[in-house]
Amino acid sequence: MSNQAANNIFYAQSGGVTSVINASACGLIETARKHPELGKVYAGRNGILGALREELIDTSQESDEIIAALRHTPAGAFGSCRYKLKSIEENRAEYERLIEVFKAHDIGYFFYNGGGDSQDTANKVAQLSREIDYPLTCIGIPKTVDNDLPITDNCPGFGSVAKYVAVSIREAGLDVASMCESSTKVFVLEVMGRHAGWIAGAAGLAAEEEGDAPHVIVFPEVAFDKAAFMRKVKSCVEQFGYCAIVVSEGAHYADGTFLAEAGGKDAFGHAQLGGVAPTLANMIKDELGYKYHWAVADYLQRAARHIASATDVEQAYAMGKAAMEYALAGKNAVMPTIVRVSNKPYSWRVGEAELSAVANVEKMMPESFITEDGFGITEAAREYFAPLIQGEDYPPYANGLPQYARLKKILTEKKLPAWQE
**Is 239 strand, coil or helix?**
helix
Cα separation, 186 vs 183, in Å, equals: 9
Cis peptide before 417 (omega within 30 of 0): no
Q: What's the mean pLDDT in 176-200? A: 95
The answer to whether residue 265 scores a pLDDT higher than 90 is no
Non-local CB neighbours of 23 within 8 Å, separated by 6+ positions: 70, 71, 72, 156, 313, 316, 317, 320
**Is 109 strand, coil or helix?**
strand
Q: CATH code for 8-144+306-356+392-402? A: 3.40.50.450
Q: For residue 228, give the amino acid letter.
A: A
The one-character DSSP state at 268 is T
Cβ-in-10-Å burial (0-12, 13-18, 19+) of 75 comes to middle
Q: Please report the pLDDT score of residue 4 as a whole number.
A: 41
Q: How many helices (H) and strands (E) does the chain have?
A: 13, 15
Cα separation, 244 vs 173, in Å, equals: 6
Q: What's 306-371 look like in SS3?
A: HHCEHHHHHHHHHHHHHHHHHHHCCCCCEEEEEEEEECCCCEEEEEEEEHHHHCCCCCCCCHHHEC
Give the dihedral of Cα atoms 169, 173, 175, 180; nearest 10 deg. Answer: 150
Q: What's the mean pLDDT in 154-173? A: 98
Task: Choose the catalytic residue: 146, 148, 312, 393.
Answer: 146
Q: Please report the pLDDT score of residue 274 as a whole number.
A: 57
- Annotation marks residue 146 as catalytic: yes
Q: For residue 161, give the amino acid letter.
A: V
Q: Please report the pLDDT score of residue 267 as a whole number.
A: 54
Helix 158-179 vs helix 310-328: crossing angle, to nearest 10: 170
Cα separation, 205 vs 27, in Å, equals: 30
Cα separation, 6 vs 19, in Å, equals: 32
Helix 21-33 vs helix 310-328: crossing angle, to nearest 10: 40
Percent of the chain with pLDDT over 70: 95
The answer to whether residue 5 scores a pLDDT higher than 70 is no
* Helix (H) or strand (E) run with residue 218 in it: strand 216-218
Q: How many CA atoms lie within 13 Å of 250's alpha carbon, on the beta-carbon side?
A: 18
Q: Please report the pLDDT score of residue 181 as a whole number.
A: 93
Q: What's the mean pLDDT in 130-142? A: 94
The answer to whether residue 147 scores a pLDDT higher than 70 is yes
Residue ranges of domains in the chain: 8-144+306-356+392-402, 158-304
Cα separation, 120 vs 115, in Å, equals: 9
Q: What's the mean pLDDT in 194-205? A: 95
* Per-residue pLDDT reduced to its tens digit, 382-416: 999 999 999 999 999 999 999 999 999 999 999 99
Q: What's the mean pLDDT in 116-142? A: 92
Q: Please report the pLDDT score of residue 269 as a whole number.
A: 59
Residue pair 363/150 in contact (Cβ under 8 Å)? The answer is: yes
Q: What's the mean pLDDT in 152-156? A: 98
The answer to whether residue 279 scores a pLDDT higher than 80 is yes
CATH topology for the 158-304 domain: Rossmann fold (3.40.50)
pLDDT band at 266 (very low <50, low <70, confident <90, very high): low
**Is 43 strand, coil or helix?**
strand
How far, CA to CA in Å, does 421 sit from each of 52, 84, 93, 418?
Answer: 9, 13, 11, 9
pLDDT band at 271 (very low <50, low <70, confident <90, very high): low
Residue pair 161/302 in contact (Cβ under 8 Å)? The answer is: yes
pLDDT band at 91 (very low <50, low <70, confident <90, very high): confident
Within this chain, domains 8-144+306-356+392-402 and 158-304 share the same CATH topology: yes
* Per-residue pLDDT reduced to its tens digit, 13-71: 999 999 999 999 999 999 999 999 999 999 999 999 999 999 999 999 999 999 999 99
Q: Please report the pLDDT score of residue 322 as a whole number.
A: 98
Helices (H), 107-197: 116-131, 158-179
Q: Please report the pLDDT score of residue 240 as a whole number.
A: 98
The answer to whether residue 87 scores a pLDDT higher than 90 is no
